[in-house]
Amino acid sequence: MSNPLDWFGRREALLAVACLAAVLLFSFLSPYFFNAENLSAVLSNSVELLLVGLGMTLLLGVGGIDVSVGVAMGLAAIAVGRLLQAGVTPAVAGLAGPVAGLLIGVGTGSVVVFGRIPAIVATLGLYGVYRAGIYLCLGGDWLSGLPIGLTELVGTGIAGVPLAFPIVALTYLALYVALRRTPFGPHLLAIGDSEAKARLSGVSVNRTQLLAFIISGGLTGLAASFYVATYRNVEMTIGGTLALEAIAAVVLGGTSVIGGRVSLIGTVLGVLLLRLLQNGLLLSGVPSLWQTVVTGLLLLFVLGIEAVQGRLSLTMLMRSKSGRLASRVAQ
C-alpha cells in the first residue's frame, strides 16, 4: 500500500502524461496553441483555481468539503474592491483579501465543526448566506473598472516575474511542509480516514478540521485579491462555478473524495489539465458547451478507474469509514 502522502505516485504520473498528451494534441490541432502568449494565458487563468484548489485539497483530505468557496471569494473580493475604490494603497487592499478570507474561513469552519453539521450540508447553507451577502453588499450594482493600482502591483511583481508565480509556489511549499513535517498532516489524514478512530487516538479533531477550513479560507481570500487584480471587477455572479471546478481538479489530482488521501502536486496537475483542456478545446473549434461535457466525462473516467482498481469501491463509500485500512493512517 502506497503512502497516502506520496508526493508523486501513479495518479500524478498519469496526470502529467495527460497534460503532456493534451499539449501535443492541441499543438497538432491548432496552430495558435503552442506559443508563449497562449500558454502564459493558460497559466494566468489558473491562478485563482490553483489557490482555491490547494485549500480544497486539505478539506477533502480531512473528510470535509466546501461548496461555498466561490461565493466566499466573492465576499473577499468585495472587500478588496471597496478598499481600492476608497483609495487605499494597493498593497493594503491586496492584503485585505486573505484577511477577509481567513475570517470567512473561521466562520465556515465554526459552523461545520462546532455546529456538528455535515460539511456538504453546512456549506450548501452558507453558500446561500454568502450569496445573499454579496447581493446586499453590491445592491445590484457591480464594482467595475476598479483602480488599476493592484493590477500593476501584481502584474509587475518581483523583478518582472508576475507576483502570482512566487505566491503560488510559496503556498505550495508551505502546505507541503505543513503536511509532511508537522503533525497537521498525519492528523488530517487520520481524521479523513476515520474520525472516530482519530478521536480515540487523541488527535484534536476539532482543531485540525477548523485549521483546514481557516487555511482554505485564507487561500480563497488570496484568490480574491488576484481576481480583483486581474479583472478589476466584482460582478454579482462571481465565483459561481469555482467550487465545482476546484473539487473536480482536486479529485482528478488523486485526493480521495471521502478523505484520507491528499496529493498537492496532483491538485496542481489537475488544475493545469482542466485549464489546458478548456483552452485547447476552444482553440480547436469545439463549442464551449462541449467543454463541460469533456471535463465531466474525464472526471467519471478517473473515478471509474479508481473503482476498478479498488481504491474507491461502492462498498467503501457506503460502509462505515472505520472499516478502512489502518495502514493509510500510519505515519
Partner 1 sequence: MLKTSKLLLLSVALLAATASFATAADAKKKVAFVPQLIGIPYFDAMKAGGTEAATKFGVEFIYTGPVDANPVDQLQIVQNLVNQGVDAVSVSVLDASSIAPVVEAAKAKHVTLFTSDSDAPKSGRAVYVAQATDEGLGFMIIDEMVKRVGPDAKIGIVSGEATASNLNAWIGFMQARVKDKYPKLKLLAPQFAGGTAQRAAQLATDIMAANPDLKGIIGVASSTCPGVAQAIETAGKIGKVIGTGYCSPNTARAYLKSGAFAYTVLWDPAELGYLTVWAGKQLIDGKPFEATATPEGMSHPVTYDAKTGILLLGEPAVFTAQNVDNYHF
Which residues contact partner 1 by CB under 8 A? 30, 32-33, 37-38, 41, 45, 48, 139-142, 144-146, 227, 230-233, 235-242, 278-279, 282-283, 285, 287-289
Nearest approach, Cβ of residue 193 and partner 1 (Å): 35
DSSP string, 55-68: HHHHHHHTT---TT
Q: Could you tell me how many helices (H) and strands (E) the chain has, helices first?
A: 14, 2
Cβ closer to partner 1: 204 or 230? 230
Name residue, grid cell 498593497.
91
109, 169 in Cβ contact below 8 A? no
Cβ closer to partner 1: 41 or 91? 41
Question: How would you classify the pairing of strands 233-234 and 143-144?
Answer: antiparallel
Nearest approach, Cβ of residue 216 and partner 1 (Å): 19
159-183: burial string, b at 16+ Cβ within 10 Å, e else? eeebbbeebbeebbeebbebbeeee
8, 265 in Cβ contact below 8 A? yes
Cβ closer to partner 1: 110 or 230? 230
The answer for residues whose C-beta is within 8 angstroms of residue 166's C-beta and 6 or more apart is 157, 158
Cβ closer to partner 1: 225 or 278? 278
Nearest approach, Cβ of residue 21 and partner 1 (Å): 20
Cβ closer to partner 1: 162 or 254? 162
Nearest approach, Cβ of residue 71 and partner 1 (Å): 11
Nearest approach, Cβ of residue 75 and partner 1 (Å): 15
